[in-house]
């Protein structure tokens, strides 16, 4: 594939983020200079081990956890699997699992599979703003519930679920509580004690670390069966560690934590400017949710326009965003999240997700507004001609 010849304006940070220069710099020596195995007792191995310890401490601090509570994984997908399967395995007498209808596919696909094995899966619905039905949740979590698993922030809309409240509901029934924080980590401050979770997943590449690395927080004293057996990670996750990836994750967490309040405020100002700019100039555009959300995400419906074509034209004009729906072998399916919020298929397929990062600039936001307005005007003019 040919490289892009123009620097794109990147508004797809919920899909993945750029590895920061500081993160890359910290990672590089671990590939070709200090390439020891942290399990080796030789000097090089010991250096690698020390670097893992430093990264573990940084990740723990980022979550207000202790280092022993951090298990490095290949990302949030694996961490979600470890949390869900590990909890079910340690709690064979409880066969119910409660979740929401709008979880990430890395959870929902696993739960679909678990349903075929006899686990009772209860999915709690959301309202038109994407907010969770807390009364239904409280009713669904019972004495047969092994685990309540809920995402912290939604990847498509950015909507935040009230995690501490949900964790209290689980605790009331002595059920375990897991949150998938892949889309909140690095965007808002996280504190596992305040959230009250037993387990929390996140992925490095959503907060400017590399792809293929992430972590699961496992509360001290919480019993969790391993998914991958081996001596690493205190017998909780076997396999030689992703040394460079983990070192980079530590640095990314440190950087995120240092500036999180300031960055959050800056990003939300730019996000609001982007969405207000688009809404002010395209009369039929509307926000898909106005609920409390992370500062960087905006999901906008351009009713009547073909979202895939809109995205393609934006892409050609140098603006990278996302459709918020899954491409399947059979074509593009509308987003399960937007359908769960009550949008019809057409509106769901006309919706575009814009996701910013702390690298997004004011100039990029202004350019993005112009690009969206131009492309949408072209498309509506073409539709008018056809009609």
Q: Which residues are catalytic?
A: 327
Which is closer to ligand PMP, CB of 94 or CB of 205?
205
Which is closer to ligand PMP, CB of 205 or CB of 271?
205
Cβ(275)–Cβ(258) below 8 Å: no
| Start-to-end Cα distance in the chain | 37
How many angstroms from the chain centroid is the CA of residue 338? 16
Which is closer to ligand PMP, CB of 9 or CB of 151?
151
How many angstroms from the chain centroid is the CA of residue 134? 22
Which is closer to ligand PMP, CB of 126 or CB of 285?
126
Q: Which of 21, 358, 59 is nearest to 210 (CA)?
A: 21
Task: Write down the least CB distance from residue 336 to ligand PMP, Å.
Answer: 13
Cβ(203)–Cβ(39) below 8 Å: no
Which is closer to ligand PMP, CB of 201 or CB of 371?
201
Task: Write down the least CB distance from residue 104 to ligand PMP, Å.
Answer: 4
Contacts for 270 with CB less than 8 Å, ≥ 6 apart? 356, 360, 361, 362, 365
User: What phi and psi values does residue 364 have, to the nearest 5 degrees?
Assistant: -65, -40
Task: Write down the least CB distance from residue 83 to ligand PMP, Å.
Answer: 11
Which is closer to ligand PMP, CB of 157 or CB of 257?
157
Alpha carbons 201 and 76: distance in angstroms, whole number = 5
Task: Write down the least CB distance from residue 295 to ligand PMP, Å.
Answer: 16
For ligand PMP, the nearest residue by Cβ is: 75
How many angstroms from the chain centroid is the CA of residue 157? 11
Which is closer to ligand PMP, CB of 153 or CB of 175?
153
Which is closer to ligand PMP, CB of 207 or CB of 348?
207
Alpha carbons 214 and 206: distance in angstroms, whole number = 10
Judged by the rule CB under 6 A, the positions of this chain that interact with ligand PMP are: 75-77, 104, 106, 151, 155, 180, 182-183, 203, 205, 214
Q: Beta-carbon neighbour count of residue 68 at 10 Å?
A: 11
> What one-character-per-residue DSSP string does 229-293 give?
-SSHHHHTS-S---HHHHHHHHHHHHHHHHHHHHHHHHHHHHHHHHHHHHHHH-TTEEES--SSB
Q: Which of 256, 260, 265, 272 is nearest to 365 (CA)?
A: 272
Strands (DSSP E) along the chain, which ranges? 9-10, 70-73, 96-100, 120-124, 145-151, 176-180, 199-203, 214-218, 285-287, 297-302, 319-320, 327-328, 331-332, 351-355
CA distances from 232 to 39, 72, 236, 243 (A): 8, 10, 7, 12
User: What phi and psi values does residue 32 have, to the nearest 5 degrees?
Assistant: -130, -5
Contacts for 384 with CB less than 8 Å, ≥ 6 apart? none
């Amino acid at each position: 594939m040919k490289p892009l010849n123009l620097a794109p304006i990147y508004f797809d940070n919920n899909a993945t983020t750029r590895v920061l220069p500081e993160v890359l710099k910290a990672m590089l020596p671990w590939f070709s200079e200090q390439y020891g195995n942290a399990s080796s007792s030789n000097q090089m191995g010991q250096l690698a081990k020390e670097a893992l310890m430093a990264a573990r401490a940084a990740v723990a601090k980022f979550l207000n956890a202790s280092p022993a509570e951090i298990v490095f994984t290949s990302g949030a997908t694996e961490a979600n699997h470890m949390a869900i399967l590990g909890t079910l395995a340690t709690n064979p007498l409880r066969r119910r699992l409660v979740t929401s209808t709008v979880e990430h596919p890395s959870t929902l696909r696993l739960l679909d599979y678990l349903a075929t094995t006899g686990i009772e899966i209860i999915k709690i619905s959301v309202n038109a703003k994407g907010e969770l039905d807390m009364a239904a949740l409280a009713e669904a979590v019972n004495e047969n519930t092994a685990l309540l698993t809920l995402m912290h922030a939604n990847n498509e809309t950015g909507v935040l679920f009230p995690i501490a409240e949900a964790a209290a509901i689980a605790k009331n029934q002595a059920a375990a509580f897991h949150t998938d924080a892949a889309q909140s980590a690095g965007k808002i401050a996280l504190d596992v004690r305040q959230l009250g979770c037993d387990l929390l997943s996140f992925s490095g590449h959503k907060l400017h670390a590399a792809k293929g690395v992430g972590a699961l927080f496992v509360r001290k004293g919480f019993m969790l069966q391993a998914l991958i057996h081996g001596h690493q990670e205190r017998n909780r996750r076997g396999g030689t560690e992703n040394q460079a990836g983990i070192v980079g994750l530590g640095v990314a967490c440190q950087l995120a934590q240092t500036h999180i309040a300031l960055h959050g405020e800056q990003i939300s100002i730019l996000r609001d400017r982007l969405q207000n700019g688009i809404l002010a100039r395209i009369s039929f555009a509307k926000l898909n949710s106005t609920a409390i959300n992370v500062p960087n995400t905006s999901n906008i419906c351009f009713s009547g326009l073909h979202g895939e074509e809109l995205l393609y034209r934006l892409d050609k004009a140098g603006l990278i965003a996302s459709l918020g729906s899954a491409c399947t072998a059979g074509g593009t399916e509308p987003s399960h999240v937007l359908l769960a919020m009550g949008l019809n298929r057409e509106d769901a397929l006309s919706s575009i997700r814009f996701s910013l990062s702390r690298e997004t600039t004011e100039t990029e936001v202004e350019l993005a507004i112009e690009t969206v307005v131009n492309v949408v005007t072209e498309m509506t003019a073409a539709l008018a001609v056809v009609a």
